[in-house]
Structure 1
Amino acid sequence: MLEWLATLSPVFQALTGTLFTWGVTALGAGLVFFFKSFNKTVLNGMLGFAAGVMIAASFWSLLAPAIETAESLGQTAWLTVAIGFLSGGLFLWLVDMTLPHLHMGLEKDKAEGIKTNWQRSVLLVLAITLHNIPEGLAVGIAFGAVASDLPSASLAGAVALALGIGLQNFPEGAAVSIPLRREGFSRTKAFLYGQASGIVEPIAGVIGAYAVASMQHVLPSALAFAAGAMIYVVVEELIPEAQYNEGGSSTNIGTIGCMIGFTVMMILDVALG
């Protein structure tokens, strides 16, 4: 697999990796063909797992290589990485404030972003799509970094990141399609909406890979930017959603899932990267 990927350009490597992550989103959305509802406790554990994967990936696959790369390029590493990290969070905050979307379990009048008359289903899909922008960027930037021939960037590490992001995309696909089925959508339509939430990943991945492969001096900033965007999603959305069951009672399942997800991504990155 690695030998075949090595023959491709960084942009096509990124496209391959993000098509995989999109495919796993579709697999998760496919659960709607077997279930009409989903136990919220199980979903909390899956969302917590996704949060743990993203936290671990933000450090081992993005921030640590960003620091090493900045130092090798003669940049002031702490400054470059700090600015990139905060810029990633700021970007997601601006998108969050602008793009109309609705978080799971909320009524339509609780939608965030610019006010719109869009259907509830569209708003739910856009909420998950927000997650996938930084995820696609992260995978694309990781593959684009391989072209820099820096010690901190490896094809195996990029593959590990794509695997980790793919694993945590599974619950996100289910988190869109199954609630839509519960609201009266047909199984096919609910599936199509669920998998559509991941379509942004190949787009963001190709953009990220092309940018860093063409302009190596922006690689540290790009890696840190993707990490900041991912951490924003984790803290603003995934962890809060994983902490409560219906009725508002708190749960530890999301926390346990987060610990497991972090460990799995750490193992993937260290073992393969």
Structure 2
Amino acid sequence: MSWFRTLDPIWQALAAGMFTWGLTAVGAALVFGLVNVHRKMFDAMLGFAGGVMLAASYWSLLAPSIEVAAEQGWPSWFPAAVGFLGGGAFLYVLDRILPHLHRGLPMESAEGMKTAWQRSVLLIIAITLHNIPEGLAVGVSFGGTASGLESTSYGSAVALAIGIGLQNVPEGIAVAVPLRAEGMSRVKAFMIGQASAMVEPIAAVVGAAVISVSAPVLPFALSFAAGAMVYVVVEELIPETQQQGNEDLATLFLMIGFTVMMILDVALG
């Protein structure tokens, strides 16, 4: 893979975003074989995804943000604090403005501005909101590798892409199979499942491009992505795993996901 390392960071980010999208499609494709997902497995998968995102938020994003800030001459805490809160605020605003519907809820529970859009469209928007931070995180990480700073590394960016890709497989399953169980056709459930991550390559390119144009924003961008991912985990994933009495199982898999991502980042970064 030495050829990949020589690519421009924007192309690396695009390829990594396509990789994470592709693994979502792999998970969603299991709808052609599975009839349903047991609720315990569903909550375990969401817990694992949340653990990966939480670990990535610190090991791949916040910690490098603090180190990059110090190298650039900022107070080490300032970009991390501002970016982290900004990322959460960004997702909060999108959550309030864009009409969307979370999985398993009736149309009456749709959030954001009122609209007559179909249920499938609202579901795609909800899942897209979830995936924007993941794409941004991957793009910012690869964009940071061109900065020449010691605290950014190609290995860490690759580890983040692998981690996000791994947790996208169960996410694809968790989106597509329940839709099939609701009566949606397998093809349509698959299309919605894989479409949930289409935004990741786009967000990855945007993140890498921003860093390429203005390297000083790197510590802010890293922590911004971290704040957005933590917002998604706390606002959506964790509450969703607490509804059917599987709290302990979901927590266990969250810790497993956290550990897997931590190992990837430390081993490769």
| TM-score, normalised by the number of residues in structure 2 | 0.98
| 8 A contact 1:128–1:172 mirrored in 2 | no
| 8 A contact 1:69–1:220 mirrored in 2 | yes
1:156 correspondence with 2:155: yes
2: CA distance, partners of 1:173 / 1:31: 9
Instruction: Give the CA deviation at 1:186.
Output: 1.6
1:82 correspondence with 2:100: no
| 8 A contact 1:243–1:253 mirrored in 2 | no
Matches within 5 A, 1:95-114: 95-114=94-113
Instruction: Give the CA deviation at 1:128.
Output: 1.3
Q: Which contiguous aligned blocks of 4+ residues in structure 1 show a shift greater than 3 angstroms?
A: none
Residue deviations 1:113-157 (CA, integer Å, cap 9, x gap): 111111112212221111110000000000000000111111111
Query: Which residue matches 1:216?
Result: 215
Which of 255, 261, 264 is 1:268 aligned to? 264
| 8 A contact 2:40–2:246 mirrored in 1 | no
Matches within 5 A, 1:1-273: 1=1, 3-245=2-244, 249-273=245-269
Q: Which runs of 5 or more residues in structure 2 are unaligned?
A: none
| 8 A contact 1:136–1:204 mirrored in 2 | yes
Instruction: Give the CA deviation at 1:184.
Output: 2.1
| 8 A contact 1:10–1:209 mirrored in 2 | yes
Q: Which runs of 5 or more residues in structure 1 are unaligned?
A: none
2: CA distance, partners of 1:80 / 1:221: 5
2: CA distance, partners of 1:118 / 1:180: 17
The worse-fitting range, judged by mean Cα deviation, of 101-110 and 60-69 is 101-110
| 8 A contact 1:132–1:198 mirrored in 2 | yes
SS at match of 1:195: helix
Q: Which amino acid aligns with 1:32?
A: V
Identity of aligned residues (%): 62
Aligned pair count reads 269
Q: Which amino acid aligns with 1:60?
A: W
| 8 A contact 2:45–2:174 mirrored in 1 | no
SS at match of 1:252: helix
